[in-house]
Structure 1
Amino acid sequence: MYPDHTPPVPAQRAIEVHQPTPYPPAAMAPAPVVPVQPGTVPAVASIVLPDGRVVTGYAINPAHPEPATPKPAVSRAAVNVALGGVGFLAVCGGLILLTSFIAALTAFITQLIILAAVIFGGWVAVQLFSASGHQGGSTTVNIRKATFKRNKFFG
């Protein structure tokens, strides 16, 4: 902080003014002349301004807006919604057929598995309960002239 609570004033410098240098009119190049077909030159208009100056230039034709296209009787959004509904119904019908097909295929595979289990179970039952000399579940082995020497079987 400063003792008198005021910041120091910067030193004043002299102000310099720069003026642009205009180009003399003789230094400007003349505009090129473009050949134009007769009858295609637009009309030239001159206007006198309130201060007495005259401005000359080509007349500009006003831009005409394009004619508005008539709107259809039915909006595009309504047509898109209707087409989307028809497509959704078609997909739903297809999905119903697909789920019906999957349910039928599942039932068919289940029946094939049950049929295989019944056939295999029947074959196992026939093998177990057939009258092929096996009774009571015991096995009879007839050994003739069997010789055991040093824990080896020679038959």
Structure 2
Amino acid sequence: MYPEHPTTSRPVTAVEVHQPTTFPPAAVTPAPLAAMQPGTVPSVASIVLPDGRVVTGYAIEPARPEPVAAKPPVSRAAVNVALGGIGFAAVCGGLLVLTTFIAALTALITQLITLAAVIFGGWIAVQIFSSNGHQGGTTVNIRKAVIKRNHFHS
């Protein structure tokens, strides 16, 4: 049995120490070989260095860049901008026709309201100023009346 800890009264257990495991260094992978056409053997070249040593190896042709595709004479962005301008012009023409129609309709409604006001006003004027047999005003027939002490008796 393990002895107890002096402050917690729990048994003290043994501590296990683990050492890290080392891994062997990774193997260096060789660079990929250049693609070659099947059936062809590259030529072997030898070079003599200034100190007299001879180095022999395969001749490596420099990598050729991929041919660039021919660009169209007009860029796609320019074509898109031009098409957008044509569409905008078509919309503006339609808006111009629409606003012209709305302005003409507003003018017609204004003229109809003015015409109705003139006709109604003329009818009222004719009713006021026409004479239909009487001179205008109110006719009151007063018969014999006696006024006594500010009282009207009929």
Superposition TM-score tier, normalisation by shorter sequence: 0.3 to 0.5
- TM-score, structure 2 as length reference: 0.46
